[in-house]
Amino acid sequence: MFEYLFGPFLHYGFMQRALLGSLILSISCAPVGVFLMLRRMSLTGDAMSHAILPGAALGFLFFGLEIIPMTIGGLLIGLLVALGSGLVSRFTVQKEDASMAAFYLISLAIGVLIVSWRGSSVDLMHVLFGSVLALNDAALGLIVGVALTTYIVLLLFWRGLVAECLDPLFLRSVSRIGGPVHLLFLVLVVLNLVGGFQALGTLLSVGLMMLPAAGARFWSNDVRSLCLIAVAIAMASSVCGLLLSYHASMPSGPAIICIAGAFYLFSALVGRRGVLANLFVSGRHKTA
């Protein structure tokens, strides 16, 4: 049993880098996912994960699978899409969800075309789904930098972020930090998606952000507790997913997200605020 659980991480350097990168991503992405969920912006994270694809594809077009150009491209295009959709929703009759959907669909199509034009189907799969088992030192450095930036921002702007989640209109009426905090939060989302893109690709990076956060919602109402539970679920999903991919010869990224999905379903069923708990409470009220 010891060899089955710990052997892959003790004997293989690529598994050690994959584990380290996945755990750091879990620590960084999960709290951002909690704030996305509390803001009712869960699908915005999915849209933004697609929106970074053209930038990463442009970096790939000119420099191949080099981490720095693809990262810079993804970051710039992701921020451009976020700002563009925000401007459209602010100055036109269209709501933010519709403008975001339009921008991300355009971005996804352009990104796939660019990668297909220059590269092969293997390159396209790498960009779309990542390869956590192929993380190198540069990718790990990027992930660590994103995590440090995320926690510095969370420490400095925690109260503003929480207040904007609970009542953004009130925050903007009593303080001028409402708009800047919202913009800063969107930057954090893009940063974490760019970091996750190196390991899980543009299509799956949002999974490690949203599934643990959604699962944590069935266990607590407190924001700090939600963040801690989400991080724990994300870390457990990363470890179990890597073990599953190693022993079952499965793609590592999808394996991690599938395990996170299993944790979500388990939480939805047996969590303190899950299906069974609500059925039990309803049954007690009827018998009373």
What is the pTM (predicted TM-score) of this model?
0.85
| pLDDT, average across residues 235-250 | 91
Q: What is the pLDDT of residue 14?
A: 82
pLDDT beyond 60 at 278: yes
State residue 119's pLDDT score: 60
Tokens of 207: 């999974």
% of the chain beyond a pLDDT of 70: 85
pLDDT given at position 168: 67
Average pLDDT, integer, range 68-84 = 80
Q: What angle do CA 209, 28, 164 make, to 5 degrees?
A: 75
Options 3.90.245.10, 1.20.140.10, 1.10.3470.10, 3.20.20.70; which CATH number does 2-203 get?
A: 1.10.3470.10
Provide the residue ranges of all domains of the chain, joining segments of one domain with +: 2-203
- pLDDT beyond 60 at 215: yes
Model pLDDT, residue 120: 61
The 3-class secondary structure across 144-198, one letter per residue, is: HHHHHHHHHHHHHHHHHHHHHHHCHHHHHHHCCCHHHHHHHHHHHHHHHHHHHHH
Paired tokens of 181: 């905090």
Instruction: Report the first-to-last Cα separation within the chain, whole angstroms.
Output: 49
Mean pLDDT of 54-69: 76
- Strands, E assignment, the chain: none
Q: Across residues 212-240, what is the average pLDDT?
A: 93
Structure confidence at residue 28 (pLDDT)? 92
d(C-alpha 162, C-alpha 27), whole Å = 18
Q: What is the mean pLDDT of residues 176-194?
A: 80
